[in-house]
Amino acid sequence: MKIANKIKKHYVRRIYNLGENFIKRLLDYFLLISYNILKLKEEIIMNLKLNEKYNGFILKKSEELSSIGSKGYLFKHEKSGARLVFIENDDSNKVFSVAFKTTPKDNTGVPHILEHSVLNGSKKYPIKDPFNELVKGSLNTFLNAMTFSDKTMYPVASCNNKDFANLCDVYMDSVFNPRIYETPETFYQEGWRYEMFDKNDELKINGIVYNEMKGAFSDPEQVLMRYGQNILFPDNTYGYESGGDPVSIPDLSYEAFLGFHKRLYHPSNSYMLLYGNLDIEEKLKWLNDEYLVNYDKLDIDSNIEMQKPFTEQKYKEIEISVSENESIADKSILSYNFVCGEALNTVETTAMEVLEYVLLGSQGAELKQALIEAEIGKSVYGYFDGEILQPNLKIIAQNADKSKIDEFKSIIDTKLVEISERGIDKKILRAAINRFEFRSREADFGRAPKGLVYGIQMMGTWLYDDNRPFDYLNIDKIFGELKEKVDGNYFEALIKKYLLGNPHSAIVVAVPKVNLSKENDDKLAEKLAEYKASLSEDEIQKIVDLNVNLREYQNTDDTEEALASMPVLNREDIKKDAEKLINEELKLGDIKALLHETNTNNITYIKMLFDIKKFNLKSTAYAKLVSLLLTAINTEKNTYSELSTEININSGGINFSTLHLPDRKNSEDYVAKFTVNAKMFPDKIERVFELIDEILFTSNFDDVKRLKELISEQKSAIEGEFIRAGHLLAMTRSASNYSAVAKYMDATNGIYFYNFLCEIIEKLDSNPEEIISELKKTIQTLLVKENLLISVTTANANEEVKKVEKCMEAIENKLSVKCSEIFENDLVIEKKKEGFTSSGKVQYVAMTGNIQNHGRKPSGAIKVLIAILGKDFLYNNIRVQGGAYGAMAIVRNDNDICFSSYRDPNLTNTIDVYKNMYDYIKKLDLSNEDLTKYIIGTFSGMDIPMTPREKGENSLIAHLVNKSFEEIQNNRNEMLNVTLDEIKDYADLIKDIIDENNLCVAGGEEIINESKDLFDEIKPLLK
Ligand SMILES: [Zn+2]
């Protein structure tokens, strides 16, 4: 079963038009360590010498970074004191980042509000939102900004040289010469403001970061994570919330906000990164001449003091809100937090990460298991934060009872004594190290550029020691040392040093309180009413004026002249050719197979796909459940804990899932698969097939206690995802009004599946035999030979296909020939407008519709139109004016148009915005340049370089939905050549879709109930 999605304490400026897993990836890629697929450029033209000066920069250090196929250079800008690292290699996906050490001294979230604000106009680019202009019209492969606990990073990436230069310049000008000094509107819009448009209105607070953090603080897990860190550092900067506590954000004044910029956004406090195949001397010259030469070195007080260790452990209780309809039994969260050493000790920090996995992360991890077995919590996990000066480890038990806190602590202490005395199984340790190393070698960060991930890793030491940017990039060295240490008692000693009797630790318990958020809202409303009553007529008028002016500022278009300052690309800068599909159809014996041959850095990716289209909704939910249970339950040969070790030693992972894709011609039809996914080095193929064989055919579903543990854990994980990514469930549920595949997606990932799990948990008490027999029947029904397709992504096709064919024989013989099971049809597609309520304070407002159901055909023009709506109209109305964190418009699977807001304080206003899209399109008047800009922006999301795994998967999916390369190329051509008329021709389609009103909203109980007439049904989201 998957580990609950870990939460990182970063804030990113922008939630983009999201793909399904975007948020997960965003959280995940920070956790990965990376490795070896790049090489140095063929010929190194540079011959840089130590201590020589290059355009104002002195080369201080250079280092071979063989583990990542690169060379690293550390520079210092002599006049301004700026630090700069260049990572040289042949990667065309170039990265630039400028970062500052931003250490907060309060909870107002000033680093975060600045992170948002500096990208709202600068001296050279005096428009309201250069960032969004780049989103609309650049070929970036990454564009965002992030606030961490102690730093703020501004990274950009692109494969196109001209584009890259543009992005770098806009970012540099934004951070050093922002317009925030001239336009206080930015602060009110991005940060916070008293809101009132008429003097008789109720006084409210609004602002983008304010709402973003209200959303973040609606998530009990995140709240606990924050307090867990803050409590360990009462005397230094980590005691404060860099993102901003909604209670404290309104304490931030415009002057203090400017002061923070003035003090810390100086080259002497900056850390820059250039990465990839680029001309370094040209870049150094640009940085020097355009920016750094204007500054003199300053001594800046941004230093982070070490927190003095405690002499005794701390204890704290905090309250979290649950809604009236939720049960509060088992809603507490218990946590044990430890400070573990110092960031600059990189081997130790990585060892702690491995240790966290061994104790709490892997299947059957001993400490986790002890807590689960004692029924301390339904979901138990560890979280190690090695990214701050004083790394810390958290042990968290969710869905727990507060009264068990003493037991929680004593089980942890006792178990850790036992483990450290007895010693950790060496095989388990090696397997864990192997797991981290495989992921490093694979260096698959999904859509995140490698250079960005390296850049973030570098900050883990560089921020605390000017001379040590490269430590984390020397992966060979770190893993080499760790492997050597397995045989001694190094890991056991770490347990004793940091986790046993470490007084610098704290217990934090989050206790549920019914309607706490409503209580807080009421208190705030009261406070605001009192405040309003204390104001003079004049002061009230000032607030009204501020809001009216802000609205006017937001509604005033940038002047042509100002807009002309933004760099532009031409349509010629866009790649003409679509990415080739790499599908070769084969037969392995009687079994259909698909081969994707591509350079995979010597990793083999294998998928087995069993067709489950015959399955009805309920049996599909069972299939999904089976997929989650496999590898987490015992097999004939191995306990789940042993199995996990075997998997980690022999592969980069084996997992199971379900996949549902819509038919592109007919919204009633779809593709449905049960999938086996594995990745490995080629010499392990045989062993991996043995393991898959063992798991598929000998997994034991009879252990009711284990089933209950796993399913309860999964239920908690889904609850977390609902809160963090409510737009996904809302969009899927909205599409269920007309789409069969959406129903199946809901049955495997959404509300249907959640309710299904809740039922199963109950039945495991009353009638476990029924569940066990259903699970067994499901897997038997699945494993049918004629329903199987194998997909192999590899660089060595000839050898490996033979190997796979041979390995398949054993499995093949065990598969049934045909599936005789007949499922009763339980699919009912009916229109229902639904509201799902929780104690959260923000909404996800979704509306979707199918292009072909409205008599139109999918086309490149629709994609461009949807990009325009998302990046312009919805962005301006839902985010900039409405205060939501995000607004998105996407075309899902070519055929479904989906709109959703993200962490939105509004509901009816957002629906009105959707209704206004028609008028906006009708009136849309774009110059040729503007249209080109949007076309480029539409491509930027599509043309992000794919990892080898993604190339294989992309080709496989095209095969499954019968999409040919010609179609993809045609679609690309349509997008490239689209005209304004073609785009506007779809106004009616958008109107039809909004009129069809497939509304689904997940969000705050009160707001949804206030608008109950909009819905056919209102139900609590969580049970
Ligand atoms: Zn933010």
In terms of pLDDT, which residue wins out, 37 or 771? 771
Residue 767: Cβ-neighbour burial (10 angstroms; 0-12, 13-18, 19+): exposed
Which of the four pLDDT bands, split at 50, 70 and 90, describes residue 727? very high
Percent of the chain with pLDDT over 90: 82
Residue 23 has pLDDT above 60, yes or no: no
Q: How is residue 350 written in tokens? A: 């990585």
Q: Helix or strand or coil: residue 899?
A: strand
If phi > 0 it is left, if psi is from -120 to 50 it is alpha, else beta; for residue 981 that is alpha
Q: How far is the CA of 15 from the centre of ligand 1 (A)?
A: 9
Residue (of 452, 89, 80, 441) closest to 294 by Cα position: 80
The CA 209 to ligand 1 mean position distance, Å, reads: 6
Please tell me the distance between residue 132's alpha carbon and the centre of ligand 1 in angstroms.
14
Lowest mean pLDDT among 324-333, 668-677, 743-752: 324-333
Burial group, residue 564, by CB count within 10 angstroms (0-12, 13-18, 19+): exposed
Compute φ and ψ for 119, nearest 5 degrees.
-85, 15
Q: Please state whether beta strands 332-339 and 788-794 pair in parallel, antiparallel, or not at all (unpaired).
A: unpaired
Residue 259 CA, ligand 1 centroid: distance in Å: 20
- Whole-angstrom CA distances from 608 to 338, 677, 783, 1014 are 42, 7, 10, 44
886-902: b or e for each residue (b if 16 or more CB lie within 10 Å)? bbbbbbbbbbbbbbbbb
CA–centroid distance, residue 368 to ligand 1 (Å): 33
Distance CA 76, CA 86 (A): 11
Q: How far is CA 383 from CA 68, 386, 393, 682, 768, in A?
A: 26, 10, 6, 32, 33
**How close is the Cα of 294 to the center of ligand 1, in Å?**
30
Q: What span, in angstroms and rounded, lies between the C-alpha atoms of 4 and 290?
A: 46
Tokens 């909704």 belong to: 617
The predicted pLDDT at position 9 comes to 45
**What percentage of residues in the chain have a pLDDT greater than 70?**
96
Q: In what order do the strands lie in the sheet with 332-339?
A: 314-322, 505-514, 332-339, 392-400, 377-385
- Considering only CA atoms, which of 286, 200, 191, 205 is closest in space to residue 243? 191
Cβ(627)–Cβ(657) below 8 Å: yes
The answer to whether the Cα torsion of 330, 2, 752, 833 is positive or negative is positive
Q: How far is CA 159 from CA 41, 174, 193, 290, 938, in A?
A: 16, 22, 39, 23, 15
68 pLDDT band (50/70/90 cuts)?
Answer: confident
Shortest CA distance to 121 belongs to which of 174, 169, 168, 171? 174
Mean pLDDT of the chain: 92
Residue 11: predicted pLDDT: 63
**Would you say how long the chain is, in residues?**
1023
Query: What was the pLDDT predicted at 10?
Result: 56
**Which helix (DSSP H) or strand (DSSP E) does residue 788 occupy?**
strand 788-794
Mean pLDDT to the nearest integer, 352-374? 95
Mean pLDDT of 959-971: 94
Type of residue at 143 = L
* Cα 790 to averaged position of ligand 1 atoms, centre (Å): 42
Q: How far is the CA of 617 from the centre of ligand 1 (A)?
A: 38
CA of 485 to the centre of ligand 1 (A): 41
Band of the pLDDT at 274, cuts 50, 70, 90? very high
Residue at token pair 């206690």? 705
141, 940 contact by CB (below 8 A): yes
Element (H, E) at 400: strand 392-400
pLDDT number for residue 1: 33
pLDDT attached to residue 13: 58
Q: Give the model's pLDDT for residue 170.
A: 97
pLDDT in the model for residue 724: 80
State residue 740's pLDDT score: 92
Which bin fits 284, alpha (ψ -120 to 50), beta or left (φ > 0)?
alpha
Cα of 727 vs centre of ligand 1, distance in Å, is 17
Grade residue 914 by pLDDT with cuts at 50, 70 and 90.
very high
**Looking at residues 865-893, what average pLDDT do you find?**
92
CA of 147 to the centre of ligand 1 (A): 8
| pLDDT tens digits, one per residue of 684-707 | 999 999 999 999 999 999 999 999
The conformation of residue 844, written as its DSSP 8-state character, comes to E
Calculate how far, in angstroms, residue 883's C-alpha sits from the geometric centre of ligand 1.
12
pLDDT class for 327, splitting at 50, 70, 90?
confident
pLDDT band at 518, cuts 50/70/90?
Answer: confident
CA of 217 to the centre of ligand 1 (A): 13
User: DSSP class of residue 143?
Assistant: E
For residue 463, how far is its CA from the centre of ligand 1 (angstroms)?
A: 22
Question: Ligand 1 centre and the CA of 886: distance in Å?
Answer: 10
Whole-number Å distance, alpha carbon 109 to ligand 1 midpoint, is: 10
Q: Which two tokens stand for residue 625?
A: 């459940």
Is the pLDDT at 3 greater than 70, yes or no?
no
User: How far, in Å, from the CA of 171 to the mean position of ligand 1?
Assistant: 17
Quick: pLDDT tens for 623-668.
999 999 999 999 999 999 999 999 999 999 999 999 999 887 777 7
* Closest among 680, 574, 621 to 160, alpha carbons compared: 574
User: What's the pLDDT tens digit per position in 738-752?
Assistant: 999 999 999 999 999
pLDDT at residue 14, rounded to an integer: 55
Instruction: List, edge to edge, every strand of the sheet that includes 788-794.
Output: 584-588, 591-597, 788-794, 604-611, 670-680, 653-662
Q: What angle do CA 190, 193, 196 make, to 5 degrees?
A: 130
**Among candidate residues 938, 929, 867, 942, the one with its CA nearest the CA of residue 897:** 867
> In whole angstroms, what is the distance from residue 847 CA to residue 735 CA?
8
Distance 163 CA to ligand 1 centre (A): 25
Place of tokens 């400490």: 367
Measured CA to CA in angstroms, residue 554 lies from 395, 509, 544, 751 at distances of 45, 43, 15, 38
Q: Which residue type is seen at 377?
A: G
DSSP state of 122: B
Query: pLDDT value at position 602?
Result: 86
14 CA → ligand 1 middle, Å: 7
What is the 149 CA–ligand 1 centroid distance (Å)?
Answer: 13
pLDDT of amino acid 694? 98
Give pTM, 2 decimals: 0.91
By DSSP bridging, strand 670-680 and strand 834-838 are: unpaired
pLDDT digits (tens, 9 = 90+) for 533-571: 999 999 999 999 999 999 999 999 999 999 999 998 999
Residue 941: CA count within 13 A, CB half-sphere? 21
How much is the pLDDT for 825?
Answer: 93
**DSSP single-letter state for residue 475:** H
Q: SS3 of 968, please?
A: helix
Using pLDDT thresholds of 50, 70 and 90, give the confidence band for residue 27: very low
The two three-digit tokens of residue 740, written as one number: 């069969």
Secondary structure letter of residue 973 according to DSSP:
H
Q: Is the pLDDT of residue 681 over 50?
A: yes
Q: Which residue has the higher pLDDT, 599 or 848?
A: 848
Q: What pLDDT does 212 receive?
A: 86
User: 571 by DSSP, 3-state: which?
Assistant: helix
- Span from the CA of 119 to the centroid of ligand 1 (angstroms): 12
User: What's the 208 CA to ligand 1 centre distance in angstroms?
Assistant: 8
The stretch 75-91 carries a mean pLDDT of 97
Instruction: Tell me, in angstroms, the distance from the centre of ligand 1 to residue 925's CA.
Output: 31
Q: 419 falls in which pLDDT band (50, 70, 90)? A: very high
Q: What is the largest CA-CA distance in the chain?
A: 85
pLDDT of 397-410, one tens digit each?
A: 999 999 999 999 99
Q: How far is the CA of 943 from the centre of ligand 1 (A)?
A: 25
Q: 551: CA distance to ligand 1 center in Å?
A: 21
